[in-house]
Amino acid sequence: MEPEKLHIQIYLCLLLITSSYSNVGKMTSSQNHFGSTVPSQFITKNNTRVIAQKGGLAILPCVVKVNSPATVSWIRRKDFQLLTVGLSTHSSDKRFLVEHTRHMGHWSLRIKAVREDDKGLYECQLSIYPTQSIFIELKIVEAVAEISNTSDILIDEASTLQLQCKLKGATENPSFVFWIYIHMSKQKHSFP
């Protein structure tokens, strides 16, 4: 092979690789190397955002057309960790699991006991030619319990007091709600 042709082939290969990474998260249909567009096999919209509660369950949706012959894979983008291929989990972290509904094209990624470091981009990829992907952003929030009107309240002994607890930032209903009563004894203060 002539050196000039070899140089040109390498340049074209690098150009194709670079262009595929520059479009991460932007394409809703795939383009092949000749510029023609292949219709998207995804029903789930690209750049979907999922909000999950710290410690809870995150479900990242990926719905493909039912007649799609492709294998679905999930990849965590921050470290390019392959999480699932088809129904098989490839992560040593047992919190990750693919949930598939037969004959409906649902390939959701389930993440149990969500942690702060789970936030970021996840890629749902179809192994067809050309490869098609959508990106799902996972955002983590932390639920906080707050008692309404928490300013000091003075009431007469044996009076009724009504307190209301509000849960903010929650994406799931709590399994338990605990109320803790701390008895404050009357103390005598002496002032000089």
Q: Which residue has the higher pLDDT, 153 or 20?
A: 153
Domain membership of residue 130 (yes or no) is yes
Res. 186 pLDDT band, cuts 50 70 90: low
- Picking from 104, 114, 29, 36, the residue whose alpha carbon sits closest to that of residue 65 is 104
- Read off φ and ψ for residue 5, nearest 5 degrees: -65, -40
Is it the case that residue 150 has pLDDT exceeding 50?
yes
Domain membership of residue 31 (yes or no) is yes
The structure tokens listed for 126 are 């179809």
Domain membership of residue 100 (yes or no) is yes
Q: Which residue has the higher pLDDT, 62 or 189?
A: 62
pLDDT score of 191? 54
Res. 100 pLDDT band, cuts 50 70 90: very high
pLDDT score of 125? 97
Query: How distant is the alpha carbon of residue 141 from its chain centre?
Result: 11
Query: How distant is the alpha carbon of residue 111 from its chain centre?
Result: 8
Does a cis peptide bond (omega within 30 degrees of 0) precede residue 130? yes
19-78 pLDDT tens trace: 233 333 434 444 444 444 678 899 999 999 999 999 999 999 999 998 777 899 999 999
Tell me how many domains the chain contains.
Answer: 1
163-185 pLDDT tens trace: 888 888 888 888 888 888 777 76
Cβ-proximal residues to 111 (8 Å cutoff; 6+ apart), any chain: 52, 57, 58, 59, 60, 95, 96, 118, 138
| Beta strands in 42-182, from DSSP E residues, in sequence order | 48-53, 58-60, 72-76, 81-85, 88-89, 96-101, 106-111, 120-126, 132-141, 144-147, 165-168
Domain membership of residue 83 (yes or no) is yes
Length of the chain: 192
> What CATH code is carried by the domain that includes residue 101?
2.60.40.10
Q: What is the enclosing helix (H) or strand (E) of 8?
A: helix 3-22
110-133 pLDDT tens trace: 999 999 999 999 999 999 888 999
Domain membership of residue 163 (yes or no) is no
Q: Which residue has the higher pLDDT, 124 or 156?
A: 124
Domain that holds residue 134: 27-141
